[in-house]
Amino acid sequence: MIRAMTNKDIAQVVEIEKALFASPWDEDGFDFEINQNPYSKYFVDEENGEIRAYIGLWVMFEQAQITTLATKSSYQRQHLASSLLQKCIDEANKANCEVMSLEVRVSNQKAIDLYKKFNFEIVNIRKSYYQDNHEDAYLMTRAMEGIL
């Protein structure tokens, strides 16, 4: 079930972060996003009390940005990320956003392929974007519904 992230979810989300990412977000980062950032919307995929995947979205006027997306290793390849990404696209459309963007490691081909399925296109490279190893990131964007 996809639902809004709450304070009770933060510990599980941080554990997934630590398992998947070289520079994981900490509890304070997620606490800020769900309790203080007026532009953010965070969602989890939860089943029987277990967080299986999560996504973050910023909606800022006519722009939306995916801030994070992760699926617990044991649940990968079950289309959870696709469902969460669609949820954010729907939220951005409801907010009348014109464009959605995200950054992704140039080496993360699985994620790049997922984003391309949702009509994201590589539009630029952000040099040395990631702090842990200075890897470049692709900036990917997609036009939203009704926008040419």
What is the DSSP secondary-structure string of 66-88? EEEEEE-GGGTTSSHHHHHHHHH
Q: Which residues contact 29 (CB under 8 A, 6 or more apart)?
A: none
Active site residue 39: no
> What are the CA-CA distances from residue 111 to residues 52, 54, 89, 107 (Å)?
17, 14, 16, 9
Active-site entry in 42, 54, 115, 138: 115
Question: How far is residue 89's CA from residue 14's CA, in Å, rounded to a whole number?
Answer: 24
Question: How far is residue 74's CA from residue 95's CA, in Å, rounded to a whole number?
Answer: 33
Active site residue 103: yes
**How many other C-beta atoms are found inside a 10 Å radius of the C-beta of residue 35?**
11
- For CA atoms 86, 115, 8, 61, the dihedral sign is negative
Active-site entry in 103, 129, 130, 135: 103
- Active site residue ranges: 103, 115
